[in-house]
A and B are shown apart, each in its own frame.
Chain A
């Protein structure tokens, strides 16, 4: 098989996989998902390293180093900020360590409010 066709095959299959894996995402997670996807394309850092590591001219070394800095910001910052966001979705029992902690009376009580009635799904509907 022609090498270009091999690449095309990978591309087309990846398109379908990309759509399929996120097709059921709830709108609750749109922001972290976008942020996580954003971090994944930071993998251009790998490309920047490959190009910079192969160059012998000073001009292109500088261009490559700039690309590496930018790509590293994208990749590392993207994953860190996504993790920070997702941390908040995890229900922890320990008191918050923020600068402005809510009063101790209600810091971590998980059972509050009237119990959710059974006549509706508990907030995890699909993104119809």
Chain B
């Protein structure tokens, strides 16, 4: 490899570091993403320049097809469907890594065994890439199906699943060892198939609310497979890029799990140990106090301090724009309004910020949980729109609850709480919310967009 190529690869690796660095700050994020993209494009062009590649027209055609599919998907996807889009992109990346490693195993075969120059570590890295890449692919596809509601988002556990999962895992490890000791293509192929099985079984028992954590984890997995692939191919860009994603992805997964008050092992294996990660999901018939939009308009219109707690229901109803109008009108009336953003509001950490930013809510009005939790005491009205679990006091008071330990927004400390809900159905975690039955709570039933519209008109006429 010529020196200039190595230097170009080094520059591309630095681009990835700068990209991640940029992405972690709101002002630098977009630039960071573009730097990353430039690094990736330059790195992909480089081998066409310095190597005499075979099949160049076919390769370019394949790149064009993938690019077109990626761009169309990325442009068409709605912001509410972002988590499944990320899952899908992650899955195809993992699948690509597994295929690359299989192909490389085929290339390496003649150079293995006695007198060969391929070390055991290279073969181990190849086996790792095949296995974990397949796990990531299959797991991401199941994640996508769960989020897209192509299948139930509840945990799927069948009798014997832990045994099948364990057996699959053991068999995969055995085959990975065989790949190192007596490499053959059929072993690699079976290893990939086992990886697919393990990936499916890994994600099936995970409840819908925990799926975002799994996406993040699988993202880190794919990063590590790409890093291992980089070692096998002796390519520094793959190694550094993959490792960066693997390390930051793992760290991000732990951050998110902590924001939800859960451990990663509990999320992955909780359902296998018997206790479902979801509650019963039954609808209660206890009495609640419901009101019409006019009553709520009076509550809001004459409040000094209002906090909005937005949830996924808001996004599903596409009501962000109407909500922002309502907040604007309240602001003009002199009411101070902020949005309290729970770290896992939406279907993915930070998802709500993206959705509200799309509705052009000023960034300054979005207040993170730790910064706003002390303010609920001094708040006249909390308006909860399409959220439930993130304000459920059971997280603090009921040790047996599935969400026990998850930090919540202290909406229960406010003078008045208004829930805007479609029905009495429990939230994503499937457990009842005591706050709904509290004397200070008013419920406003209906579609979020329609109800916010009525509320908006009612506030305007005050």
* Alpha-carbon distance between A32 and B67 when the two chains are bound, in angstroms: 20
* Alpha-carbon distance between A108 and B324 when the two chains are bound, in angstroms: 12
A85 touches B92 (CB 8 A): no
- Does residue B446 face the partner (Cβ distance < 8 Å to A)? no
Known: A11-B243, A31-B348, A41-B241. A24 touches B24 (CB 8 A): yes
* Alpha-carbon distance between A121 and B338 when the two chains are bound, in angstroms: 13
- Does residue B143 face the partner (Cβ distance < 8 Å to A)? no
Residues of chain B contacted by A77 (CB below 8 angstroms): 69-71, 73-74, 85, 89
B362 touches A86 (CB 8 A): no
User: Which listed residue, B48, B85, B100, B343, touches A47 by the CB 8 Å rule?
Assistant: B100
- Does residue B417 face the partner (Cβ distance < 8 Å to A)? no
* Alpha-carbon distance between A65 and B163 when the two chains are bound, in angstroms: 36
- Does residue B334 face the partner (Cβ distance < 8 Å to A)? yes
- Does residue A118 face the partner (Cβ distance < 8 Å to B)? no
A49 touches B362 (CB 8 A): no
**Nearest CB of chain A from residue B308's CB, rounded to whole Å:** 11
User: Which listed residue, B16, B21, B229, B332, touches A44 by the CB 8 Å rule?
Assistant: B229
Residues of chain A contacted by B350 (CB below 8 angstroms): 27-33
User: Which listed residue, B36, B44, B82, B96, touches A31 by the CB 8 Å rule?
Assistant: B82
- Does residue B216 face the partner (Cβ distance < 8 Å to A)? yes
- Does residue A1 face the partner (Cβ distance < 8 Å to B)? no
A47 touches B375 (CB 8 A): no
* Alpha-carbon distance between A30 and B241 when the two chains are bound, in angstroms: 19
**Nearest CB of chain B from residue A108's CB, rounded to whole Å:** 8
Main secondary structure of the interface of B (DSSP, over half): helix
Residues of chain B contacted by A51 (CB below 8 angstroms): 100, 103-104, 107, 233
Give A68's nearest chain B residue, CB to CB. Answer: B62
**Nearest CB of chain A from residue B49's CB, rounded to whole Å:** 12
Interface size on B, residues (CB 8 A): 129
Interface size on A, residues (CB 8 A): 99
Binding site for B on A (CB under 8 A): 4, 7, 10-11, 14-19, 21-57, 60-61, 63-91, 96, 100, 102-103, 106, 108-110, 112-114, 116-117, 120-125, 127-128
Beyond A53-B47, A113-B330: 14 further Cβ-contacts under 8 Å?
A: A7-B239, A17-B244, A19-B247, A37-B252, A39-B36, A43-B242, A69-B63, A72-B67, A85-B79, A109-B328, A113-B362, A114-B337, A123-B371, A128-B370
Binding site for A on B (CB under 8 A): 16-17, 19-21, 23-26, 29-30, 32-34, 36-37, 40, 43-44, 46-48, 51, 53-56, 58-59, 62-63, 65-67, 69-71, 73-75, 77, 79, 82-83, 85-86, 89-90, 92-93, 95-97, 99-100, 102-104, 106-107, 119, 121, 215-216, 219, 222-223, 225-227, 229-231, 233, 235-249, 251-252, 255-256, 259, 321, 324-325, 327-328, 330-332, 334-337, 341, 343, 348-351, 353-354, 357-360, 362-368, 370-372, 375
